[in-house]
Structures are given as C-alpha cells and as structure tokens.
Amino acid sequence: MDQKDALIAGLNQDLAGEYAAVIQYTYYATTVTGLNYQILKPFFEAEIPDELGHAAYLSEKISHLGGEPTTMPAPVEQVGDARAMLEAALKAESDTLENYQIRRSQAQDLKMIELVVKLEDMISDEQNHLEKLSRILHDPVFS
C-alpha cells in the first residue's frame, strides 16, 4: 500500500469513528436519566454538530482523494448510567485525538497542507470535547 492509500484507509477509519460519535452522543442524549438528565442531555446534544461536521469533511476529502468514503459507523457500546456514558465518551475522544495526530503526520509527509490544517482544527475540537468531559467527570457525584 502506498502512502496515499494508507492515508485514505486511515481517513476512512476516522470517518467511521465520527459517524460513531454522532450515534454515541445521540444515543446518550436520548437515553440519559436521573439527576444528571437536565445537564447531560444538552451537553451531549451540543457535541453532535461538531462530529457531524468532521464526518462530512472527511467523507468529502476521501472522495476527492479518489477513495470510497465508508457509510459504516464504528461500533457504539450501549451503556446505561451517566458515569459509564461519560467514561466511554472520554475514551472515544482520546482515541480519536491520537488517530488525528497520526493522520496529521501522514498528511504532512504527503505535503497536503489543507488537510494538515483541517486536522489541526479537528484535533483542537476533540481536545476541547475531552477537556469538557474530564471536567464533568471530576464532579464528586461521579467519584
């Protein structure tokens, strides 16, 4: 597999992950219950547009590079309580962040500057999601 094909394959994994993030946050926003409902429902809902924007960008980029964008999301675990939701989201965001750092260096090697800059934007978005999740998880209610 050449460098460009490896990049396209990686971006397709990222796309599956972004579709999964849309499903994950939608599932959480619509199933969270208990005392956390009023705070966590809008919090989860607010993440969805960012992830959808990331998915749309990746799908267009893969197509532009001559690849076939996936329509299959990565699997999403169904978890019941708020703490498990926040922990699963934290894990997903941190995996995504690592993947984008790999993708950024692949894009850099290929001198794809627009993609590098956009990946940096997405890294910044995911880092922001991660920080918000870890701040919420610091609440004594979750310890």
Q: Which of 15, 51 has the CB closer to Fe ion?
A: 51
Provide the token pair at 12.
């397709």
**Binder among 28, 54, 69, 100 for Fe ion (CB under 5 A):** 54
Site string for Fe ion, 6-35 (x = CB under 5 A): ------------x-----------------
Q: Which of 2, 120 has the CB closer to Fe ion?
A: 120
Report the distance separating Cα 89 and Cα 44, nearest Å: 10
DSSP states along 18-83: HHHHHHHHHHHHHH--GGGHHHHHHHHHHHHHHHHHHHHHHHHHHHHTT-----PPPP-----SHH
Report the distance separating Cα 136 and Cα 119, nearest Å: 26
**Binder among 51, 62, 99, 103 for Fe ion (CB under 5 A):** 51
Q: Which of 67, 129 has the CB closer to Fe ion?
A: 129
Report the distance separating Cα 137 and Cα 86, nearest Å: 7
Measured from the CB of residue 136, what is the shortest distance to Fe ion in angstroms?
14
Q: Which of 7, 22 has the CB closer to Fe ion?
A: 22
Between the CA of residue 48 and those of 65, 104, 109, what are the distances in Å?
A: 26, 23, 31
Told to check if 129 binds Fe ion by CB under 5 A, we report yes
Q: Which of 18, 67 has the CB closer to Fe ion?
A: 18
Told to check if 61 binds Fe ion by CB under 5 A, we report no
Q: Which residues bind Fe ion (CB under 5 A)?
A: 18, 51, 54, 93, 126, 129
